[in-house]
Structure 1
Amino acid sequence: MYKNILLPYDFGNSFDNVPKELDKLTSDDEKSIITIFNIITENEMSSDVKFNGKRFNEIVEEKTEQLKPFTDELDKLNLNYEIRFEVGRVIPQLLKEINAHDYDMIVMSNKRSKRDIKHVLGHVTHKIAKRVNTPVMIVK
């Protein structure tokens, strides 16, 4: 069904329901690819370098290891994926990624910072869904 899916991954969100939705979206198509995309914020990068002496590659290795339970679920479903990391501000980097590639669908997990009925979507989810022409699926 969908050949090229972007999954902006936020380590603060729950992605428990996402693998089965990705499985439905790809319809067992071996040519489908899911891009798991995480943005390392400049603050996180500078604090890790300053206080922990870490460099970009070390942070990527740690985050890839943290992703393992999620990617194991994707492996069980035989889904094709790639993992990519960038450094920068979240919304501009996501928009840059979306505009630079021809994604068929963006799948996002929703997190609200407060349980406020007024704001159903989290800040990043709202901004991305509002500003892109690519279909966005928000998984609760």
Structure 2
Amino acid sequence: MYKKILLPYDFGNSFDNVPDQLAKMTENSEGAVITIFNVITENEMSSDVKFNGKRFNAITEDKTKELKPFTDALEKRGLEYELRFEVGRVINELLTEIKNNDYEIVVMSNRRSKMEIKHVLGHVTHKIAKRVNLPVMIIK
């Protein structure tokens, strides 16, 4: 169905249901690629450099290792993926990534664990769904 999927990955969210949904979304789509995109915030970057002496490459290596259970789940289902990391403000970097690439759909996990009537979606999920001109699938 879809060949080019953007998956903004937030390490604070649960992505347990996402691999199965991605498998359904890409079945019968030869050459489908899922871009797993993580934004390292400027605060995170500066604190890691200041307190842990880490640079961008070391931070992305750590995050790649942390992603291993998720990427293993994708590999188990035969899904092709690529990892991308950027530094900056999350919403701005996501909007830039979407604008500069021809993704067919954005797949997001929703952080909200409490069902509040006023705020059903998390801040980033709400802003991206509101501002992009392509389908956004939000997986609980």
In the alignment, the residues of structure 1 paired with residue 35 and residue 50 of structure 2 have an alpha-carbon distance, to the nearest angstrom, of 30
Which residue of 1 is the match for residue 95 of structure 2? 95
User: Tell me, which stretches of 5 or more residues in structure 2 are unaligned?
Assistant: none
Contact 1:30 1:80 (8 Å CA) reproduced: no
TM-score (norm 1): 0.97
Give the aligned CA root-mean-square deviation in angstroms.
Answer: 1.1
Q: Are 1:11 and 2:21 counterparts? A: no
Which residue of 1 is the match for residue 44 of structure 2? 44
TM-score (norm 2): 0.97
Which residue of 2 is the match for residue 121 of structure 1? 121
> CA-to-partner distance for each residue in 1:92-130, whole Å, 9 max, x for gaps?
000000000000010000012764221000000000000
Contact 1:106 1:136 (8 Å CA) reproduced: yes
Summarize the Cα distance change of 1:28–1:65 in structure 2 as closer, same or farther, 3 Å threshold: farther
Which residue of 2 is the match for residue 81 of structure 1? 81
Question: Any runs of at least 4 consecutive aligned residues in structure 1 with deviations exceeding 2 A, and if so which?
Answer: 112-117
In the alignment, the residues of structure 1 paired with residue 101 and residue 115 of structure 2 have an alpha-carbon distance, to the nearest angstrom, of 34
Which residue of 2 is the match for residue 2 of structure 1? 2
In the alignment, the residues of structure 1 paired with residue 139 and residue 47 of structure 2 have an alpha-carbon distance, to the nearest angstrom, of 31
Q: Are 1:135 and 2:135 counterparts? A: yes
